[in-house]
Structure 1
């Protein structure tokens, strides 16, 4: 998730008897549809550990303005029949739009795990940026990458036809930290480092770890389309 300025995060449970159908929809229709919107770079889906939401879905974009664009809002307000069906099976959904403040680590890396920390904090954003860099850059710790995001509250609150179906809204916390890690132990170590750094200013902290289930890039879809046309 490094190297991009816009980020959409969607946490949700899915009705158990619909999960395979949901995964088919997300892989075969929804992610390709979204990646056809100008400025969308990549779509991912993660599975959660017991005790948290079943799934975490996210998109990275060329900038936060993409998530307010006419093309994206048009898609949100014209859901396909399959999308309408799938969204009716979402439970306890949270969808939040973010702008990236600071990144640590190499761009374009791949990692099978992601740690997500959502929290509130009254300290200046620059202070939090420094805390993230210090936590992830020293003493032999080497996560694949990490980033600090801030909520775009106005864009997150826009009502759309899709939102009316799943009946969820944005998360309550202002900040998100995402750390990509090679294994679960590394993700947990990153969480502990960050929580120590952020204490005592961080409030309402939510911590979760997910493993990567699918990752699709817009450039790969375009390359496949060009190959099919040859």
Structure 2
């Protein structure tokens, strides 16, 4: 599950306290959740990417998770009213190159996009991801496809923040050990190797630095 949102500037500290101290630990404790992370926009705007890794997408429609979504804590209800321009998507992973490190990657780029030709999905899953992963400082590249059926489910939390699925079907997460750059970065490298840029539409690129990561077993 990936969630992009701006946070009211005067609420950012309170939001970080809520997310660090209550929300991520609560979510990661749910059966099937593996890890939760939050990244902040590299230019320090109050724009954040929050995401959770789960054992599979069925966890995100499980009884335990739906119970949490439909009975938010008072602090959660408060925090969600300060989300602006929210987008929340459920994804299934279709490709990965690289490995998860002991510590979460310090930087991440999210590339959301559609494909002009669905037949080019195989190119992305096989060649584009590999080419992006061969770039300097890249630790792991993951490619996902949205699961609209689960993503569109209505919950009490959604009725507060108002965020639904984004318009793009695909998400690439590029994890790096150094600040990502646009010029000569992994996206440019992969596009040059595969012609991938010509295959994309409706793309959104955001670059972030890590604020917090909490993995199952870290104090659980």
Per the alignment, do residues 114 and 137 of structure 1 end up closer, same or farther by CA in structure 2, a change over 3 Å counting?
A: closer
**1:31 to 2:21 alignment:** no
Cα distance in structure 2, aligned partners of 1:133 and 1:165: 36
Q: CA RMSD in A?
A: 1.9
Gaps of 5+ in 2: none
Deviation at 1:123, TM superposition (A): 2.8
**1:91 to 2:89 alignment:** no
Give the equivalent residue in structure 2 for 1:119: 113
**1:65 to 2:58 alignment:** yes
Secondary structure in 2 matching 1:220: coil
Per-residue CA deviation, residues 35-63 of structure 1 (Å, 9 max, x unaligned), is: 11101011111101349761110111111
Gaps of 5+ in 1: 1-7, 223-230
The structure 1 residue matched to 2:151, chosen from 152, 156, 180, is 156
Per the alignment, do residues 142 and 72 of structure 1 end up closer, same or farther by CA in structure 2, a change over 3 Å counting?
A: same
Cα distance in structure 2, aligned partners of 1:161 and 1:50: 32
With normalisation by structure 2, the TM-score equals 0.91
Give the equivalent residue in structure 1 for 2:127: 131
With normalisation by structure 1, the TM-score equals 0.87
Give the equivalent residue in structure 1 for 2:34: 41
Per the alignment, do residues 53 and 191 of structure 1 end up closer, same or farther by CA in structure 2, a change over 3 Å counting?
A: farther
Deviation at 1:131, TM superposition (A): 2.8
Per-residue CA deviation, residues 46-96 of structure 1 (Å, 9 max, x unaligned), is: 101349761110111111111111111111000000000000000010000
The structure 2 residue matched to 1:216, chosen from 211, 214, 217, is 214
Moved more, 188-197 or 176-185: 188-197
